[in-house]
Amino acid sequence: MTYISYLYFFGFVAVVYPLYLVCPKKQKWMVLFAGSCLFSIILDGFLAVCLLVTSLAAFFCGKLLTKLQEGFNTAKKDLSKDEKKQLKAKVTKKKKAVVASGTIISLSSLVVLKYTGFFEGIFNSVSGIFGGIQLPLITFALPLGISYYTLQAIGYIVDTYRGKYKAETNFAKLVLFISFFPQITEGPIGRYDKLMPQLVEGHKYTNENFTGGATLIFWGLFKKLVISDRASYMVAEVFDNYTKYGGVIVFTATILYTIQLYTDFSGCIDVMSGTARMFGIKLESNFRQPFFSKSVGEFWRRWHITLGTWFKDYVFYPVSLSAPVMNLSKASTKHMSKFMAGVVPSAFALFVVWLGTGLWHGASMKYVMYGLYYFIIMLIGTLLEPVFVKLSSKLRIDRKGKIMSFLAVVRTLILVNIGMTMFRADSLEECGAIVSRCFVNININDIVYGTIFSLGTDKHDFLAILIGVLIMLIVAVMKEKGTDVLSGVANGKIYIKWPVMMGLIIAVFVFGAYGPGYGFVENIYAQF
């Protein structure tokens, strides 16, 4: 069952939602628990098994960590300073062992299922050089959502290790947190301390939640069905046969893919957040107008936010504070300039983060390079920053002025578009070929004679995409200026709320790419 399907809305939400509303407050979470278990089983029986293993690991590790911490807190009261120190070291060692095993168990199914083939490929390449053995390549069908809930479970284990909160004592509640159905296949990656209280609170029906949730659902459907899916047809044709087409078409396809990916991912997240909102639950934001970013770094703070913050909290900080990086930091301070001494250790930690981000997206060199592409751009940006500062002061350029800010946005858009092309292309070589193809055979007749409209996305589709993107742009600009149009509509006066909501619903029904004649377009981020 995918989120964008009749089965999800009419067969699943339409059953779970009324049940949730009629259930007594204290038992409401059980409806969500049962719904989430059922959803995972319908999605993929194997996913349910993997989920159970990860949940068990997280539950027992969390409990053990809290027990160790509480044992220490009780014992330390009667101890001297030195004894306290000794006991703390002992407990920390045990806690580290628990957190490591919990993380390894949680990661194991993800690593085995997602990366076996990738590591075998690397082994075979190295072995091939020395004339060694070649392993048969094994690939597994990846259960949907595994890359999301694994991170969520690890976050929970690490946070209990850090003493951020006490471990959950009810196994079913922890399973609900890890498998909550609106976020199981595409995120957003939730945090226990923010999500769990909402999941167990038991919300009553409120007009605000219902209208706000429904508006968000239709807004997400609008993005996915009216814009993303219509763009996907031409994107598939051109990316699969790029050598057949000239610059105008290939360039348009790369832009369309960026639009497709954003509207597909953010649209699906909106649908999910809208569903959760109907239940009175607010999921984490995953996007904040990413295409207004002035730098690639800012882009990643606005795009797939929950993945970025997860890597920051659970990879960047631990790596930065690890012994080797601390030693590196000391050595850099001793032997390098103040600027470089600051850059080198954080660059090392960032390298690990971006390598991880790349690999998280997929088990192939393409995704590794995708992560490192952004790392290199950011590193170059950081290293050249002093030069830019000097240059702009000499040339008396106001880097924060409107023109420079606009140019910075355009520069980021270009870099991100190349990144997205890398993401969509089958390999790094293909990405290079597609980017260079944008500058070959540029023929305006491709538009004049309509070739561009004959590749799966016709002129009506283009019109729908254009109008859709314009509407999105207006909403984004207003949000950037502090006005949340969607909330405004959901909570606004009837003469604004009704026409806008009806318009949105009609637009989805009439202009959505669904039904006979339209192939189902799988959510891109559900495949990771």
Partner 1 sequence: MSKEKIADHEKNNELTEKKDTAEIKTEKKTKNKFLFYTARTVRGISFFVILGILLTVINYALHPKNNKKEFGMKDQNAHAFYAEPENTIDTLIIGNSEAYSSFSPLEMWHEYGITSYVSAQGAIIMSEAYYILKEALKTQDPKIVIFETDALFPHKSDQTLRDRTISNVIENEISLLKYHDTWKIQKPANFFSPIEYKWKSYSRGQMDDPKIEAYGSNFMDISEGKDEEYKDGKINFWILKYLDKFVDLCKENNISVIFVTIPNTLTTSRLNSQAVKDYCSGKSITYLDFSEHPEYINIDWTTDTRDGGVHMNTYGAKKVSDFLGQYITDNYDIPDRRKDEKLAKRWDSDYRRYSNRIQKMEKEMLEENDMP
Burial class (CB in 10 A: 0-12, 13-18, 19+), 20: buried
Helices 428-437 and 247-278 pack at an angle, to 10 degrees, of 120
Nearer to partner 1 among residue 51 and residue 513 (C-beta): 513
Query: CB 419 → partner 1: shortest distance, Å?
Result: 33
DSSP H helical ranges for 130-191:
146-161, 171-179
Nearer to partner 1 among residue 12 and residue 370 (C-beta): 12
Query: CB 471 → partner 1: shortest distance, Å?
Result: 17
Nearer to partner 1 among residue 339 and residue 518 (C-beta): 518
Q: What is the CA radius of gyration of the chain?
A: 25
Nearer to partner 1 among residue 7 and residue 384 (C-beta): 7
Instruction: Measure CA 194 to chain center.
Output: 18
Nearer to partner 1 among residue 123 and residue 453 (C-beta): 453
Nearer to partner 1 among residue 61 and residue 490 (C-beta): 490
Q: Ramachandran region of residue 449, left (φ > 0), alpha (ψ -120 to 50) or beta?
A: alpha
User: What token pair was written down for 200?
Assistant: 């167990």
Query: CB 275 → partner 1: shortest distance, Å?
Result: 18
Query: CB 207 → partner 1: shortest distance, Å?
Result: 7
Query: CB 509 → partner 1: shortest distance, Å?
Result: 6
Q: Count CA within 13 A, CB hemisphere, residue 186.
A: 24
Nearer to partner 1 among residue 100 and residue 502 (C-beta): 502
Query: CB 203 → partner 1: shortest distance, Å?
Result: 18
CB 160 within 8 A of CB 96: no
CB 257 within 8 A of CB 421: yes
Query: CB 7 → partner 1: shortest distance, Å?
Result: 5
Query: CB 10 → partner 1: shortest distance, Å?
Result: 7
Nearer to partner 1 among residue 12 and residue 314 (C-beta): 12
Residue from 218, 154, 224, 148 nearest 182 by CA: 148
Nearer to partner 1 among residue 131 and residue 515 (C-beta): 515
User: What token pair was written down for 71?
Assistant: 């044992």
Query: CB 514 → partner 1: shortest distance, Å?
Result: 8
CB 308 within 8 A of CB 215: no
Query: CB 460 → partner 1: shortest distance, Å?
Result: 4
**Which helix (H) or strand (E) covers residue 299, if one does?**
helix 296-302
Query: CB 450 → partner 1: shortest distance, Å?
Result: 15
User: What token pair was written down for 521?
Assistant: 């377009």
Query: CB 57 → partner 1: shortest distance, Å?
Result: 29
Contacts of 403 (CB under 8 A, 6+ apart): none
Q: Count CA within 13 A, CB hemisphere, residue 96.
A: 7
Rounded Cα–Cα distance for residues 23 and 73 (Å):
39
Burial class (CB in 10 A: 0-12, 13-18, 19+), 21: middle
Q: Which amino acid type is present at position 341?
A: A
CA 66-70-73 angle, to 5 degrees, is: 140
Nearer to partner 1 among residue 207 and residue 243 (C-beta): 207
Q: What is the 8-class DSSP label of residue 23?
A: S
Nearer to partner 1 among residue 10 and residue 449 (C-beta): 10
Query: CB 443 → partner 1: shortest distance, Å?
Result: 26
Nearer to partner 1 among residue 390 and residue 459 (C-beta): 459
Cis peptide before 188 (omega within 30 of 0): yes
Nearer to partner 1 among residue 76 and residue 497 (C-beta): 497
CB 284 within 8 A of CB 189: yes
- For the residues of 469-526, what is the DSSP string, one character each? HHHHHHHHHHHHTT--HHHHHHHS-HHHHHHHHHHHHHHHHHHSS-STT------GGG
What are the residues binding partner 1 (CB under 8 A)? 5-7, 10-11, 207, 458, 460, 494, 498, 501-502, 505-506, 509-518, 520
Question: Could you give the dihedral angle defined by the CA atoms of residues 338, 342, 344 and 345, in that order, rounded to the nearest 10 degrees?
Answer: 140
